Structure 1
Amino acid sequence: MRMPKLALDLAERTAATYLEAAIGLLLVGGITGLSSIQSAAVAAVPAGLTVIKGALGAFLGRADTAALLPARVDPASRQ
């Protein structure tokens, strides 16, 4: 079973955002005073916002991607 292009795009963006946020929080954990568990939980916030942004992008931009760019200016729309 194949995942639709939008689902794959959104999953990649969400996973990347979560990993970037988690790694960043772990790197500055001594400064922020967050434990590893707290860092993992806090990193879920921007990942969740990425899902919301991607869903909006599917409605406002191209239907098959999570990008917010309108189809007329989206480089992926040009062939």
Structure 2
Amino acid sequence: MSEINLPDTQTVVKTARTYAVDLIERIIWTFLGAAGAVALAAGPADMLTVSFWEGVGTAGLAAVVTLVKGIAARLIGPKNSASTAPSV
């Protein structure tokens, strides 16, 4: 029989923790970016109803926030992660 090589327990726990930290951070940043985009679109644009292009613009603003955050994270954090959390 061939031997099955599995990672040790510490590696699995660290990977799960790293994933959770990264996921929580991305959820928070996406929420903040989308909330800011909607506030900007609803204020100056006075959007009571959303047309297709207003919706695309709002989503684009949220995407730009995520892109800028990811680039900034690469500049100030680990080079192989879009996370700004120091433990990732």
Q: 2:6 aligns to what?
A: none
Q: Give the structure-2-normalised TM-score.
A: 0.49
Q: Name the CA distance, whole Å, in 1 between partners of 2:73 and 2:23.
A: 10
Aligned to 1:17: 33
- Whether the 8 Å contact between 1:18 and 1:46 is mirrored in structure 2 is yes
- Note the aligned Cα RMSD (angstroms): 3.1
4+ runs deviating over 6 angstroms: none
Q: Percent identity?
A: 15
Number of residue pairs the alignment of both structures matches: 65
Q: Which blocks of at least 5 consecutive residues in structure 2 are unaligned?
A: 1-15
Is 2:63 aligned against 1:48? Answer: yes
Match of 1:73 in 2: none
Alignment partner of 1:36 is 2:55: no
Name the aligned partner's letter for residue 74 of structure 2: F
**Are 2:22 and 1:6 equivalent residues in the alignment?**
yes
Long gaps (5+) in structure 1? 67-75
Q: Give me the whole-angstrom Cα distance separating, in 1, the residues matched to 2:39 and 2:63.
A: 16
What TM-score does the superposition give when structure 1 sets the normalisation length? 0.52
